[in-house]
Amino acid sequence: MGDTIKYLLEEDQIPKYWYNIAADMPEAPPVLHPGTGQPIGPDDLAPLFPMELIMQEVSQEREIEIPEPVRDIYRQWRPTPLYRARRLEKELDTPAKIYYKYEGVSPTGSHKPNTAVPQAFYNKEAGVKNIATETGAGQWGSSLAFAGKIFGINVKVFMVKVSFQQKPYRKALMETFGAECIASPSDQTQSGKAILAEHPDSTGSLGIAISEAVEVAATNDDTKYALGSVLNHVLTHQTILGQEAMIQMDMAGDYPDILVGCTGGGSNFAGLCFPYIGAKLRGGPDVKVVAVEPAACPTLTRGEYAYDYGDTAHLAPMVKMHTLGSAFVPPGFHAGGLRYHGMASQISQLQEMGMLEAKAYHQNTCFEAGVQFARAEGITPAPEATHAVRGAIDEALKCKEEGVGKTILFNLCGHGHFDMQAYIDYFAGKLKDEDYDQDELAMALAGLPKVAAE
Amino acid sequence: MGDTIKYLLEEDQIPKYWYNIAADMPEAPPVLHPGTGQPIGPDDLAPLFPMELIMQEVSQEREIEIPEPVRDIYRQWRPTPLYRARRLEKELDTPAKIYYKYEGVSPTGSHKPNTAVPQAFYNKEAGVKNIATETGAGQWGSSLAFAGKIFGINVKVFMVKVSFQQKPYRKALMETFGAECIASPSDQTQSGKAILAEHPDSTGSLGIAISEAVEVAATNDDTKYALGSVLNHVLTHQTILGQEAMIQMDMAGDYPDILVGCTGGGSNFAGLCFPYIGAKLRGGPDVKVVAVEPAACPTLTRGEYAYDYGDTAHLAPMVKMHTLGSAFVPPGFHAGGLRYHGMASQISQLQEMGMLEAKAYHQNTCFEAGVQFARAEGITPAPEATHAVRGAIDEALKCKEEGVGKTILFNLCGHGHFDMQAYIDYFAGKLKDEDYDQDELAMALAGLPKVAAE
């Protein structure tokens, strides 16, 4: 056996069910209406989502069947490969075994189509003609553009302005798939106009872009909203990758001691980790779970576990989560997909349960790890994914120090082919390790809503 | 069965041999020394290539064994998928069946690593420490950078200036893999300086970049040269993709009536078509073979079949091929990988034998086809690959006109994730359908060398 160790599955091994971790967790704190602060029901969400997705959002069923038309589209790139990073192991001279699941083989180069496809499918089944959404780095926006085109749905994407400017090629990809892409904050919505009035130079944030997309959906009968992370049903859809990884690790004859994923809203992290965490919750093997986030937007390591709005303009429901405050706008670092002020409610709850360890890194050390990985393994990670690479390498180096050969599995959630400007800036020494503004964070946290449910 | 029809192979179905079409063709015209005009032998090429590659270049063996370390690296992304383009067929409302082999899943997003890996391997076996090469769009340069890093060889890439300026992210990818990338013509070589002295604003050409790389190899004992297309051994390495496709078409229960590939130097075209053409030459099924080239660099449709230099400075050997003249510099269109003045000798010989049909297209109609393909199939083709897409769609539309359900197989040799500026320009209506300069072509053809062998 040589250096390349790849574990592939047959097409008929694509899971037939998504795994819903809600079935194995304590009851979740209720979602609250942004206006009244009272718990909301499915009907309150109906202006934004088709009922099938709302039912998945509140489902307690452990298995949710993947519709055949969705599995059919998945087959274009799934099952994705799982690799053992033998050349990286040698480079690090570590006794650890490093495995990674690689989602960059999808048509848009990341894990995002795993949920874009079912979301577009359920909207189509409900007769929806238009979807509005937001995007950070553009991975979600281009994935929904891809999925929307397949199912004949028009897609409008509000893209965080700093990423819109950094990544014109992501916009071009969305347009190639026939979608419309607008820099956020924009003058197309009341939410956007309000931000621009106060901060004409706003670089935008996911919270602002969500407000704009939600507003468009809420004010147009023929338009629904879609979110690329954070929500329960999105995390559930991503478990397809973790379930595949479990089968592939079985093929490898290994079980991970340590799981590593990067966390923005939490969807790729959940995709890999939830099936393993669920097994542990049901009495299965222990596993250490490491969530790696950017130091400039440190939701899990510096945020409060509290009710907060999902968006800046307070149009989206309030959920209990680790949050930096919906008014918080992080600096414009390159991992645009990790710039959300909050964290998925389910992941936040798991952290409160002591099920995971969170770590925050600045971007230069992440790109250093990304380059080391690319040179060893031949795949250039997306800026978001470099956080997971950094986390995995640090765990492997700790194994070396301790002389123990643990098994590490991380999620390489996307390739960096659209993000090469970040690598150019890194090589040129131009990447700043910016911190968030302490005063701004304090103000944003002070502005958290007071709700009766707490 | 739904819309997605993908044919995957097991890893142990990766071919163990490359197919060498020389075994099934009439004797090839000899390669001539650029200085003396006399036929050259293996020793004359020894300053440029390791002997194992030289032996492959002149081999008459039908099967050339793929070394296990090369197969091991291939396993990272091979076997690549073969798809049936069902959604495109529906969109075109054609009775034709359209299949495509997809090479964009490689680490650098094209078919180029298929030969970069063995070339780096044989150089390493020969103790070579440095390789100089040229690149057009950057797909070859980034692939050799990837392969060089794996085998511990330093790679220096001369990149055609117009592509260097259009595609800074390709350069960044090469640097991420640890290679050095220089705009050509450069002041690092005599060949480059001579061009710059005469044409300070030269946008470069593959012919010039080859001269620079060959010069560096010829004048440095510790440096060899590598070429990403044109040469027999390069075409041979690419047959791995066509051999896989043959097995996959067997799985589909189909045999192609029509093969389509885009042609620059000819390597991706040869990779798909040579195994099928070889079968035909040995008495197997007939197959129509369509070579699609850019109208701005129409080697097969407008070039002469004559001896010519492989490069602008006449440092590389003379081969008999379809050529526009080594002094010909095509306009700066986006498919940088198709801007070579000549065509692989073996492909030229096959055209003379009546084994293929050549077509030339301008770039706007190719991008139109590329967008149509992306919206139907979800994969954004590289500018080079849009030529093959255009050719395949036109064959499918002809089937529709004629009411015949032929089987079309084309090679989608790479994705366009590094080429989105071309799509931006296309959508903005800024892409020019430039023709070559007629006078320049006439002059370049008039300057073809007179050699005794003809």
Residue B154 lies in a domain: no
CA distance A35 to chain B (A): 40
Q: What SS3 string covers B101-147? A: EECCCCCCCECCHHHHHHHHHHHHHCCCCEEEEEECCCHHHHHHHHH
Domain count, chain B: 1
CA distance A181 to chain B (A): 13
For the ranges B194-208, B316-330, B369-383, the maximum mean pLDDT occurs at: B369-383
Interface contact flag, A378 B76, Cβ < 8 Å? yes
Closest Cβ–Cβ partner in A83, A178, A420 for B169: A420
Closest Cβ–Cβ partner in A4, A107, A379 for B379: A107
Task: Answer whether residue A330 shows pLDDT above 90.
Answer: no
Residue B1 confidence class, pLDDT cut points 50, 70, 90: very low
pLDDT value, residue B434: 87
pLDDT value, residue B137: 86
B positions 152-181 inside 8 Å of A (CB): 168-169, 172-173, 175-178
Q: Is B73 on the interface with A (CB under 8 A)?
A: yes
Residue B91 lies in a domain: yes
Q: Name the closest residue on chain A to residue B85, using Cα atoms.
A: A76
pLDDT value, residue A1: 40
Q: Name the closest residue on chain B to residue A425, using Cα atoms.
A: B172
What is the mean predicted confidence (pLDDT) over B414-440? Answer: 94
Residue A189 lies in a domain: no
Round to whole Å and give the CA distance between B145 and A185: 40
Round to whole Å and give the CA distance between B139 and B382: 10
Q: Name the closest residue on chain A to residue B425, using Cα atoms.
A: A172
CB B207 within 8 Å of CB B160: no
Task: Answer whether residue B11 shows pLDDT above 80.
Answer: no
What is the mean predicted confidence (pLDDT) over A3-24? Answer: 87
Single-letter amino acid code for the residue at B327: A
Closest Cβ–Cβ partner in B69, B146, B168 for A2: B69
Interface contact flag, B177 A146, Cβ < 8 Å? no
Domain containing residue A391: CATH number: 3.40.50.1100
pLDDT value, residue A126: 97
pLDDT value, residue B10: 78
ipTM score assigned to the predicted complex: 0.94
Q: Is B75 on the interface with A (CB under 8 A)?
A: yes
Q: Is A73 on the interface with B (CB under 8 A)?
A: yes
Round to whole Å and give the CA distance between A166 and A143: 18
Q: Is A23 on the interface with B (CB under 8 A)?
A: no
Across the strands, what pairs with A59?
Answer: none
Residue with tokens 């032998």: B41
A positions 336-395 inside 8 Å of B (CB): 371, 374-375, 378-380
Q: Find all residues with CB under 8 Å of A316, minimum gap 6, and list them.
A: A34, A210, A211, A214, A309, A310
CA distance B327 to chain A (A): 34
Q: Is A280 on the interface with B (CB under 8 A)?
A: no
Residue A98 lies in a domain: yes
Q: What's the DSSP call for residue A81?
A: P
Residue B120 lies in a domain: no
Round to whole Å and give the CA distance between A104 and B284: 39
pTM check: above 0.90: yes
* Burial readout B417-444 (b: 16 or more C-beta within 10 A, e: otherwise): bbbbbbbbbbeeeebeeeebeeeebeeb
Q: Is A107 on the interface with B (CB under 8 A)?
A: yes
Interface contact flag, A424 B168, Cβ < 8 Å? yes
- C-alpha angle A259-A264-A270 in degrees, rounded to nearest 5: 40
Residue A421 lies in a domain: yes
- Residue A316's domain comprises 5-12+68-109+232-445
Tokens of B126: 């020969």
Interface contact flag, B177 A374, Cβ < 8 Å? yes
Q: Name the closest residue on chain B to residue A104, using Cα atoms.
A: B105
Q: How far is CA B86 from CA A76, A382, B5, in A?
A: 12, 31, 8
pLDDT one-digit tens code per residue, A46-74: 999 999 999 999 999 999 999 999 999 99
Task: Answer whether residue B454 shows pLDDT above 90.
Answer: no
Round to whole Å and give the CA distance between A228 and A267: 8
pLDDT one-digit tens code per residue, A168-218: 999 999 999 999 999 999 999 999 999 999 999 998 888 899 999 999 999
* Burial tier of A316 (Cβ tally within 10 Å: 0-12, 13-18, 19+): buried
Round to whole Å and give the CA distance between A340 and A328: 9
Collect all residues of chain A within an 8 Å Cβ-Cβ radius of residue B83. 76
Closest Cβ–Cβ partner in A2, A146, A420 for B378: A146
Q: Is A137 on the interface with B (CB under 8 A)?
A: no
Q: Is B117 on the interface with A (CB under 8 A)?
A: no
Q: Is A109 on the interface with B (CB under 8 A)?
A: yes
Residue A441 lies in a domain: yes
Residue A154 lies in a domain: no
Collect all residues of chain B within an 8 Å Cβ-Cβ radius of residue A176. 371, 374-375, 380, 420, 423
Helix H or strand E encompassing A161:
helix A161-166
Q: How many whole angstroms from its chain centre is CA A289?
A: 16
Residue A452 confidence class, pLDDT cut points 50, 70, 90: low
